[in-house]
């Protein structure tokens, strides 16, 4: 199993029960008229239904969408008519491809990296709100769910994927680091799967997402409408508990997903990614006989040494953090450290998403030239405006 790094579109990108994002069959596929809302909000029976509505951009997030989602959750928290919240994405390409990082690059180039803080504070507050919401939130991940999309899906109560799911935290591809609570999820994946996913940006299919702890339930895309109907019916059952998914399980859940490629690759992933540093990981990969291990080493050698070094430290430290909010605070500091101090972020966005030459020039270009205290310096960075007031 090679690192299967996703083509970047954009990447800005403890409940009692959980599931993931996507678009629900039967939901209209709104064409992108400029005047149409980018988040569709309605109440259908007992369900508050939110749909990200930028299908041409694979529902990439902007701050207006984040605020609209937060406002709906605020309105429904004390509305007795809403017993459960359902989040999905318009179109058939995915739930959410992340956020548009071009704006981040422009702010940094303009000499105003502090302006990026407003977006990230709003986004991370929404991520925490989803995790802590007093009513069950169900997210359906049908198709692309990356970066900021993981922040919406990964912390929900019920996280559903389909056979078309493509989940990833691809931030290292642009000289950046996983955020939106991604390090919290990566730090809790089995074995060293979290380090592997975080450093390589590899794409998970449905079975991988279930195995890695990014999703809870597989539902075939053709059965999503039936799944949602069964979910609504479960609210009226004897227990009235949508977290149990008892009714929804009969509405299209696949009981026999194929074996995860991540699970099959655990022997070489756990061996290599347990090394103390990125150079050690690459050396162990090179010593392995598996072709996929060699391909993964090739991938790591193409990525930003700074991003890899910081990401490895962030995921490992996240394992010892007490909760999601602590992980988000750590990520917030790292995001602003990159924005203020690291040319690799601007260069990575240029190479992947602006000029699209796929030929970034990293500074430093070699792992051997990364300062020994780089990760400690990054993790110690204190933003001027804190995440949590």
Residue 99 falls in the annotated catalytic set:
yes
Which residue among the candidates 171, 216, 292, 347 is catalytic per the annotation? 171
Q: CA angle 77-54-66, nearest 5°? A: 35
Q: What is the CA radius of gyration of the chain?
A: 20
Which residue among the candidates 22, 89, 94, 99 is catalytic per the annotation? 99
Residue 179 falls in the annotated catalytic set:
yes
Spatial distance between the Cα atoms of 175 and 198, rounded to a whole number of angstroms:
12
- H helices of the chain, in order, are 63-77, 101-109, 116-132, 148-153, 182-186, 193-200, 206-212, 224-235, 246-249, 261-264, 266-272, 278-287, 291-302, 305-318, 324-341, 343-349, 374-379
189 phi, psi to nearest 5 deg: -75, 160
Which residue among the candidates 147, 148, 151, 198 is catalytic per the annotation? 148
Q: CA angle 268-272-276, nearest 5°? A: 160
Cβ atoms within 10 A of the Cβ of 41, count?
Answer: 16
Residue 171 falls in the annotated catalytic set:
yes
Spatial distance between the Cα atoms of 321 and 318, rounded to a whole number of angstroms:
5
Which residue among the candidates 142, 179, 208, 216 is catalytic per the annotation? 179
- What are 44's strand-pairing partners? 47
- What are 145's strand-pairing partners? 96, 167
Angle, helix 305-318 to helix 324-341, in steps of 10 degrees: 160
Spatial distance between the Cα atoms of 219 and 227, rounded to a whole number of angstroms:
8
Residue 148 falls in the annotated catalytic set:
yes
Question: Taking the CA of residue 13 as centre, how many other CA atoms within 13 Å lie in the half-sphere pointing to its CB?
Answer: 34
Active site residues: 99, 148, 171, 179
């Amino acid at each position: 199993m090679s690192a299967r790094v996703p083509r970047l579109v954009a990447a800005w990108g403890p409940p009692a029960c959980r599931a993931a994002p996507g678009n629900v069959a039967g939901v209209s596929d709104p064409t992108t008229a400029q005047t149409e809302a980018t988040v569709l909000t309605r109440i259908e029976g007992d369900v508050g239904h939110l749909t990200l509505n930028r299908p041409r951009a694979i529902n990439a997030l902007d701050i207006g969408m984040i605020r609209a989602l937060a406002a709906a959750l605020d309105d429904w928290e004390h509305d007795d008519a809403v017993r459960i919240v359902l989040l999905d994405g318009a179109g058939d390409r995915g739930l959410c491809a992340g956020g548009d990082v071009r704006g981040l690059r422009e702010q940094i180039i303009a000499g105003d990296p502090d302006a990026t803080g407003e977006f990230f504070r709003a986004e991370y507050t929404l991520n925490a709100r989803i995790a802590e919401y007093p009513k069950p939130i169900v997210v359906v991940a049908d198709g692309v769910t990356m970066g900021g999309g993981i922040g919406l899906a990964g912390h929900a109560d019920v996280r559903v994927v389909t056979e078309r799911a493509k989940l990833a935290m691809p931030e290292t591809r642009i000289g950046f680091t996983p955020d939106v609570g991604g390090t919290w999820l990566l730090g809790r994946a089995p074995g060293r799967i979290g380090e592997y996913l975080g450093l390589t940006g590899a794409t998970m299919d449905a079975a991988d997402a279930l195995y890695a702890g990014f999703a809870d339930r597989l539902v075939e895309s053709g059965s999503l409408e039936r799944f949602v109907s069964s979910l609504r019916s479960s609210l009226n059952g004897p227990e009235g508990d949508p977290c149990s998914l008892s009714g929804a399980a009969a509405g299209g859940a696949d009981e026999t997903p194929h074996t995860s490629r991540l699970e099959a690759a655990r022997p070489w992933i756990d061996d290599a990614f347990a090394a103390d540093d990125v150079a050690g990981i690459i050396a162990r990969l090179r010593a392995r006989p598996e072709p996929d291990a060699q391909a993964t080493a090739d991938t790591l050698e193409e990525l930003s040494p700074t991003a890899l070094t910081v990401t490895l430290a962030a995921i490992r430290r996240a394992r010892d953090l007490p909760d999601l909010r602590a992980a988000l605070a750590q990520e917030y500091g790292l995001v602003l450290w990159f924005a203020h101090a690291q040319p690799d972020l601007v260069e990575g966005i240029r190479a992947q998403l602006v000029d699209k030459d796929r030929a970034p020039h990293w500074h430093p270009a070699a792992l051997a030239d990364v300062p020994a205290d780089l990760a400690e310096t990054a993790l110690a960075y204190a933003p001027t405006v804190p995440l949590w007031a």
